[in-house]
Structure 1
């Protein structure tokens, strides 16, 4: 235990020196990068230009690969159409059978939804009645503020040429 305490105390005592050394390293690193930037930026630009040129040079190969992909997709779809057409009656039958089997559940859910709406109708009506004055006020305010534009539009459409 004494060893750990002594180690922690030594670290705390050396912390200002360690911090100063770390700051010196960071300052030296930043200065070095700053001094190297005039050389690094042109090199980075050259690298980007080379990369773009490589992509441009590869465009014919990329186009060929894309066309092969599209042709393969089209051929695969054409070969799959007969299989899909053959399976279509079974797929349709399965969907129809599922829907017929689900009709009781659909009806039950519809009745539950309708019942919930009917049960909530008094609350819905109360909420609408509560905000109705605000809605009416908003509509009246909007119409009153739009009267000049409405009047001008009416005059333009109903004035003699």
Structure 2
């Protein structure tokens, strides 16, 4: 299936698609879908897309053979005053990733993750962070790609990848 998609850099015009991927990430659990507007108007999710693409933002988008976006991974620098779920420090970008359900388990997430880690390294970052719900199947992917748990709450785990 790897030939079925390719990855390109994210651009400012991808903001709407990134919003779609925030909704997919929030609704990863089948049968528990929250409405798009509910997710995108909630401050805890809005921070990941509001004002995309700021100078410190970077990301990648997976596209199918027809050029349709199917997944994205990006990072943002968030402030201590408005931290994300996976905030570990002001100098550590927080990663967000989403893949359309039909494309999950086909290597899209892994390819996006690897490309974003390489991009962060090229931009001089020493670490990337993320947050994942403890029962999310993606935890295994993050661990296999070098993310290590740094903090655990009741339902979520913050993970960090050291890029050096």
When normalised by structure 1's length, the TM-score is 0.14
Instruction: Write 1 or 2 for the structure with the bigger share of strand.
Output: 2
Question: Comparing both structures, which one devotes a greater share of its residues to helix?
Answer: 1
By relative contact order (CA 8 Å, sep 6+), the higher-ranking structure is 2
| TM score, norm. by length of structure 2 | 0.14
Rg larger for:
1
